[in-house]
């Protein structure tokens, strides 16, 4: 277990992604994954009001609803650390104060809880003054409905501005950043966002830690993969991508672990990363992402070189 910087939250080193719940993982399947994650010591789940509005017949909130029903069935809310997000659901767009307050009530109802551990601004909203957004969060924190706030998909400059406003106006401050980072997608995190996080002692909670499945080992040169995400990994299927896959594969074999575990271990090795997010729609997939491995300096150097 690890402590998230700037919080009193103690979490599992793998944050379980809830984006598949109610989408590629129906409710019974989702419950199975959640049970095995919890039984394996997991306590950190990431979701959003948006998940999974994009699926046919869905309207958003499906993931939160499943997680809420699961926690009720286990009576384990107090043992879990739940992060959810606001601003991208089509019916609850943006970071205005009114929208945040309404969206939070929606999320609390679906999650069947009276508080959210980490509430994220799911994406930046330049149309709303940051002071207004932070004042909304202050109201929610004061009411005990939110414990901490965090940012998602904010540029380094906008994140720095938000942190400065929090400091000068004595408003709640983001405790982490959630953004796209993995072995095949290292920028702009390394060159821009990481420095802001280091300066303010914030952590990165990266999503797409396995590059939408590309780093799990199921994608190989010349092989056709049947997956709802197959189209989104085509951009990685080039000479550099296959070299990264080969290096991860070799280290995994030498360590007698999974490629997913190695790819996630590389993320954790970055001093600004706390707990990477990875999702699993089946228990078999979960067993691939759960192992927590600590890479050697030589292994990190090798992966850095092949993915540079």
Report yes or no: 103 and 140 within 8 Å, Cβ to Cβ: no
Q: What is the DSSP string of 97-162?
A: HHHHHHHHHHHHHHHT-S-EEEEEE-S--TTS-HHHHHHHHHHHHHTTSEEEEEEES--HHHHHHH
> CA 268, CA 253: separation in Å to the nearest integer?
19
Where do runs of H (alpha helix) occur along 19-87? Answer: 27-39, 62-74
Residue holding tokens 């990994």? 233
Indicate the pairing of strand 146-152 with strand 10-11.
unpaired
Report yes or no: 92 and 99 within 8 Å, Cβ to Cβ: yes
Query: Which residues are tagged catalytic?
Result: 51
Burial class of residue 16 (count of CB atoms within 10 Å of its CB; 0-12, 13-18, 19+):
buried
The number of helix segments (H) and strand segments (E) in the chain equals 10, 10
Nearest to 293 by CA among 270, 263, 253: 263
Handedness of CA 139, 142, 145, 150 (dihedral sign): positive
> CA 124, CA 114: separation in Å to the nearest integer?
26
């Amino acid at each position: 277990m690890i402590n998230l910087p700037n919080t009193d939250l103690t979490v599992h080193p793998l944050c379980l992604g809830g984006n598949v719940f109610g989408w590629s993982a129906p409710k019974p399947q989702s419950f199975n994954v959640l049970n095995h994650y919890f039984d394996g010591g997991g306590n950190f789940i990431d979701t959003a009001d948006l998940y999974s509005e994009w699926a046919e017949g869905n309207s958003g909130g499906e993931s939160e609803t499943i997680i809420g029903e699961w926690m009720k069935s286990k009576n384990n809310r107090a043992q879990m650390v739940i992060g959810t997000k606001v601003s991208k659901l089509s019916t609850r767009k943006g970071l205005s104060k009114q929208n945040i307050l309404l969206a939070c009530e929606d999320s609390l109802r679906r999650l069947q809880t009276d508080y959210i551990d980490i509430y994220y601004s799911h994406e930046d909203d330049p149309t709303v003054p940051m002071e207004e957004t932070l004042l909304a969060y202050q109201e929610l924190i004061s009411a005990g409905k939110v414990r901490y706030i965090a940012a998602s998909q904010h540029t380094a400059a906008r994140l720095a501005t938000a942190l400065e406003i929090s400091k000068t106006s004595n408003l709640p401050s983001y405790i982490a950043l959630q953004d796209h980072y993995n072995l095949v997608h290292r920028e702009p995190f390394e060159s821009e966002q990481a420095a802001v996080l280091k300066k303010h002692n914030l952590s990165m909670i990266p999503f797409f830690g396995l590059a939408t499945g590309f780093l799990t080992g199921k994608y190989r040169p010349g092989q056709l993969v049947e997956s709802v995400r197959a189209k989104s990994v085509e951009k990685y299927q080039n000479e550099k991508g296959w070299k990264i896959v080969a290096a991860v594969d070799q280290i995994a074999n030498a360590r007698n672990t999974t490629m997913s575990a190695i790819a996630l271990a590389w993320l954790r090795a970055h001093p600004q990363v706390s707990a990477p997010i990875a999702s699993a729609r089946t228990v078999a997939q979960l067993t691939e992402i759960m192992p927590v491995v600590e890479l050697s300096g030589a292994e990190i150097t090798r992966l850095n070189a092949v993915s540079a």
